[in-house]
Chain A
Amino acid sequence: SYVLTQPPSVSVAPGKTARITCGGNNIGSKSVHWYQQKPGQAPVLVIYYDSDRPSGIPERFSGSNSGNTATLTISRVEAGDEADYYCQVWDSSSDHAVFGGGTQLTVL
C-alpha cells in the first residue's frame, strides 16, 4: 500500500516561513491535499490539488508537489498556525485514501 512520510514535528519562529514535507514514491504524479487540525477540533482543508486554496484560507498557505516530495509552506507564521498538519492522497491502485502520519507545527 502507498505510504506517505511526514516529519513528526517542525518548529518555527513567528514571522518566519514553515515548510512541512510529505514524502511518497513518485508523489508528484498524484494530487496532494493538506489539512490543519487544532487540538480538540476537526481537521480543516487548507490546500487541495497540490496548490489550490479553499476560500477563507489565507494566502500565507501554499503548496507544491514534485518528484517524491510535496511541501506545505506557511509564510509569515502566526501563533494561530500552531496545529497538526496532515497530507493526503488518493491511491488509485488500491482505491484507498491515504494520510501521512501528521506533523506538529510549533510556533516558538
Chain B
Amino acid sequence: EVQLVESGGGLVQPGGSLRLSCAASGFTFSSYWMSWVRQAPGKGLEWVANIKQDGSEKYYVDSVKGRFTISRDNAKNSLYLQMNSLRAEDTAVYYCARGSYSIENWGQGTLVTVSS
C-alpha cells in the first residue's frame, strides 16, 4: 500500500523558514516524479513544485520561485520542501504527492501557518 506521510509543519513568523519532509513507502520511490501541492484554508488546490526521479529536473509555481526548494533522498525514500522567506499567503495544508502529470497518491497533508 502506498503511504506518504508529511511532517514539519507548524506556526512560523513572516520571513521565517520551515522544512517539510515526506516519508514514502509501499512503492519504488526512486522510480517516480514527486510533487508538493498546497491548499489554503477554504480554497482550492495549488501545485507548488515537482522533482524528477533522479532530482535532475525541478519545477516551481512562480509565486514560490527563489524562496522554496524541492529535493529528495532516494536512499531514504524521502521528499523535502525547504521554505524560506515565508509569507502570510503561504499559509496552507501542504500535500506530498506521487506523480507529476497526474497525481496518483496523496499524503494527508501538514499545516503551515505563517503569522506573527
Contact = CB atoms under 8 A, between A and B. Distances in A.
Nearest to B60: A96
B44 A101 contact: yes
A87 B74 CA distance: 30
Interface in B91-107: 95, 100-107
A53 interface: no
Classify the interface of chain B: helix, strand, loop or mixed: strand
A27 to B, nearest CB: 15
B108 A42 contact: yes
Contacts of B107: 42
A37 B43 CA distance: 12
Contacts of B47: 88, 96-99
A43 B99 CA distance: 13
Contacts of A43: 45, 95, 103, 106
A54 B104 contact: yes
A48 B102 contact: yes
Interface residues of B, number: 21
A96 B59 contact: yes
Contacts of A1: 62
B102 A99 contact: no
Contacts of B61: 96
Contact of A35 (B46, B50, B62, B103): B103
Given A95-B59, A97-B35, A97-B50, A45 B45 contact: no
A36 to B, nearest CB: 11
B55 to A, nearest CB: 16
A42 B103 CA distance: 12
Nearest to A90: B101
12 contacts: A31-B101, A42-B95, A45-B102, A48-B102, A49-B102, A84-B44, A88-B103, A90-B100, A90-B101, A99-B45, A100-B44, A102-B45
